[in-house]
C-alpha cells in the first residue's frame, strides 16, 4: 500500500506536502474528542483573561451562518466543502516543492476543511471549543480545523506577496 501511495505521488511534487493535512486532521479530531469528553456543552472553563474552553455545536458555517435552518445546510455546506477540497488537491498536484507558502497554505486548508467536513457528516454539526474574548466582547468559538484554515489562508496571502512570479508557477 505504501508503495502504491509513493508511486501515485511521484511526478507530483506538491503532493509531498499532503501528510501535513493528515496531521492537521488528526490533531483537530483529537482535540475535539478531548473537548467533548471533558467539557459540558455551553459551560465556559476559564483559561486566562482572553481565553475560555467552551464546548459548542455549530450546525451552520463560519460565525454560525445558516445555523437556524432546518438541516439542509449540513449537506449543502458539506458537499461544497468537498468540491473545494478536490479543487485544492488538484491545485496541489500542479505545484512544485519550492512553492513553500503555496503548498503550506493548500495543505493547511485541506486538513482543516476535512476535519470540519468529517464532523458535519458524522455528527450533523461542527464541534467548536476555543472561545477568545476581550472583556465582554467574544469572538465566535472555533476549533483546530478553523485555525488551520485561517493559517492556510495566511500562507496563501504570503505566496501572493512573496511567491515565485515566473510563468512556470501554477495558478
Please state the pTM of the whole predicted model.
Answer: 0.83
Instruction: Report the C-alpha gap between 120 and 60 in whole angstroms.
Output: 9
Edge-to-edge strands, sheet with 137-138: 45-48, 51-58, 126-134, 137-138
Average pLDDT of the chain to the nearest whole number = 86
Q: Is 128 a catalytic residue?
A: yes
Over residues 100-128, the mean pLDDT reads 95
| Predicted local distance difference test score (pLDDT) of residue 13 | 78
Q: Is 119 a catalytic residue?
A: no
Instruction: Report the C-alpha gap between 8 and 79 in whole angstroms.
Output: 25
Q: Where are the domains of the chain?
A: 13-162
Lowest mean pLDDT among 6-10, 82-86, 143-147, 149-153: 6-10
In which band, very low, low, confident or very high, does the pLDDT at 74 lie, cut at 50, 70 and 90? low
**Residue among 28, 119, 146, 159 flagged as catalytic:** 146
**Residue among 28, 68, 119, 128 flagged as catalytic:** 128
| Predicted local distance difference test score (pLDDT) of residue 72 | 59
Amino acid at each position: 500500500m505504501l508503495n502504491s501511495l509513493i508511486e501515485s505521488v511521484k511526478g507530483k511534487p506538491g503532493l509531498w506536502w499532503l501528510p501535513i493535512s493528515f496531521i492537521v486532521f488528526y490533531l483537530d479530531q483529537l482535540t475535539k474528542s478531548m473537548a467533548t469528553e471533558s467539557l459540558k456543552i455551553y459551560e465556559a472553563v476559564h483559561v486566562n483573561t482572553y481565553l475560555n474552553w467552551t464546548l459548542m455545536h455549530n450546525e451552520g458555517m463560519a460565525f454560525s451562518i445558516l445555523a437556524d435552518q432546518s438541516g439542509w445546510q449540513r449537506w449543502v455546506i458539506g458537499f461544497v466543502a468537498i468540491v473545494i477540497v478536490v479543487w485544492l488537491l488538484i491545485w496541489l498536484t500542479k505545484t512544485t516543492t519550492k512553492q513553500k507558502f503555496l503548498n503550506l497554505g493548500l495543505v493547511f486548508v485541506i486538513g482543516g476543511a476535512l476535519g470540519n467536513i468529517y464532523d458535519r457528516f458524522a455528527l450533523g454539526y461542527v464541534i467548536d471549543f476555543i472561545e477568545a474574548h476581550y472583556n465582554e466582547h467574544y469572538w465566535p468559538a472555533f476549533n483546530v480545523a478553523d485555525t488551520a484554515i485561517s493559517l492556510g489562508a495566511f500562507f496563501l496571502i504570503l505566496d501572493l506577496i512573496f511567491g515565485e512570479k515566473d510563468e512556470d508557477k501554477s495558478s
